[in-house]
């Protein structure tokens, strides 16, 4: 199990990740639909942290770019920030 549920609400749909890693899409006005996703037995949850650290260390030593560079993660940081601002204000926050 993960540490809870994650939900992203957009203008046309909601994307939900359940604690067990399953993914669901709800287009507004329709029922929630599961999105087929194979969840690996290894590398998910705690294993993913160790794998990420090994990957980053190898990239630092080899000067190869990492699979996920910091600039790419800014969209995630913006989304998380919007979630906090929405929770604080009680209003939707549009991502720009």
Q: What is the per-residue pLDDT across 21-39, written as a single tens digit (0 to 9) for each?
A: 789 999 999 999 999 987 7
List Cβ neighbours of 22 (8 Å cut-off, separation of 6 or more). 34, 37, 39
Q: How far apart are CA 79 and CA 96, in angstroms?
A: 10
Q: What is the per-residue pLDDT across 48-71, written as a single tens digit (0 to 9) for each?
A: 778 888 999 999 999 998 887 777
Structure-token pair, residue 48:
């993913």
Task: Look at residue 1 in the predicted model and tell me its pLDDT.
Answer: 45
Q: How far apart are CA 5 and CA 12, in angstroms?
A: 20
Task: Look at residue 31 in the predicted model and tell me its pLDDT.
Answer: 96
Q: How far apart are CA 22 and CA 20, in angstroms?
A: 6
Indicate whether 3 pLDDT > 70: no
């Amino acid at each position: 199990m993960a540490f809870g549920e994650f939900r992203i609400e957009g203008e046309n749909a909601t994307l939900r990740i359940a604690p067990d890693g399953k993914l669901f899409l709800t287009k507004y006005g329709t029922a929630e639909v599961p999105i087929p996703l194979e969840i690996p037995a290894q590398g998910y949850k705690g294993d993913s942290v160790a794998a990420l650290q090994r990957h980053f260390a190898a990239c630092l030593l080899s000067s190869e770019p990492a699979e996920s560079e910091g600039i790419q993660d800014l969209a995630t940081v913006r989304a998380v920030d919007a979630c906090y601002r929405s929770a604080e204000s009680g209003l939707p926050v549009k991502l720009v």
